[in-house]
């Protein structure tokens, strides 16, 4: 099974291609698509779409794994990443490639065993899992390989893919019942409420 992992972004979009044979994984290709900020945004999206299309046609993946947009403090960045994600999903649909999605937290847990792992830790684990002599660079490329590893390891042939109930922008049908994504969102919201509550108490004092 060939899996193409994508870490979406407009300035830099990471990609990684791996092959799963039985229980073993090996890297086939890795890199980063960089677009110039001097270009109009629509042109940058076209470049990303063309690059992903070329990757699909070259490697003919069984599956594509795309990092799911969770949330961002920078709204402008979140919108840009969402638009980049959109053209990636479009390329997958145009080539009828099955798509799987994972949140950053799910990827970190799957690769590093720890949801708060930093990029350096994730990169080292990617290199270890794939038997690479060095950590892939840049970080976007390592992150894309991490997405591919996550998707490859959790895939069960013949089982349908579903989206989490809270994930209205996911590409797969909605699944009822709490998923890992639902839990991640619920826990993040609870943390934000706790932090906000603490800030209000401090201000009152």
Strands of 2-7's sheet in order across = 24-34, 12-21, 2-7, 63-67, 98-102
Dist CA 7 CA 123 (whole Å): 13
User: Are residues 19 and 2 in contact, defined by beta-carbon separation less than 8 angstroms?
Assistant: yes
Catalytic residue flag (residue 98): no
Selected catalytic residue, list 101, 106, 139, 140: 140
User: Which tokens in the block code for residue 118?
Assistant: 């930093």
**CA nearest neighbour of 10 among 37, 50, 30:** 37
3-state class of 186 per DSSP?
A: helix
| Dist CA 126 CA 112 (whole Å) | 8
Which one of 7, 139, 143, 167 is the catalytic residue? 7
CA 18 vs CA 10, 109, 136, 147, 194: distances in Å: 23, 19, 13, 10, 40
140 is catalytic: yes
The residues, ordered by sequence, that sit 6+ positions from 7 with a Cβ below 8 Å of its Cβ are 13, 14, 15, 67, 140, 141, 143, 144, 147
Q: Which residues are catalytic?
A: 7, 67, 140
């Amino acid at each position: 099974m060939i899996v193409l992992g994508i870490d979406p972004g407009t300035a830099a979009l990471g990609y990684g291609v791996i092959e799963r044979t039985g229980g073993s994984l090996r890297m086939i290709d890795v890199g980063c698509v960089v677009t110039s900020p001097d270009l109009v945004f629509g042109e940058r999206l076209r470049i990303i779409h063309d690059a992903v299309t070329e990757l699909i046609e070259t490697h003919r993946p069984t599956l594509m794994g795309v990092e799911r947009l969770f949330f961002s403090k920078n709204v402008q960045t979140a919108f840009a990443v969402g638009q980049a994600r959109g053209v990636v999903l479009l390329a997958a649909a145009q080539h009828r490639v099955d798509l799987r999605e994972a949140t950053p937290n799910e990827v970190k847990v799957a690769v590093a065993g720890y949801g708060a792992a930093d990029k350096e830790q994730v990169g080292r684990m990617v290199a270890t899992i794939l038997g690479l002599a060095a950590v892939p660079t840049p970080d976007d490329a390592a992150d894309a390989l991490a997405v591919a590893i996550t998707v490859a390891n959790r895939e069960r042939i013949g089982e349908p893919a579903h989206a989490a109930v809270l994930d209205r922008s996911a590409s797969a049908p909605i699944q009822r019942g709490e998923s890992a994504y639902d839990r991640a969102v619920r826990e993040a919201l609870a943390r934000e409420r706790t932090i906000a509550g603490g800030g209000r108490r401090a201000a009152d004092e």
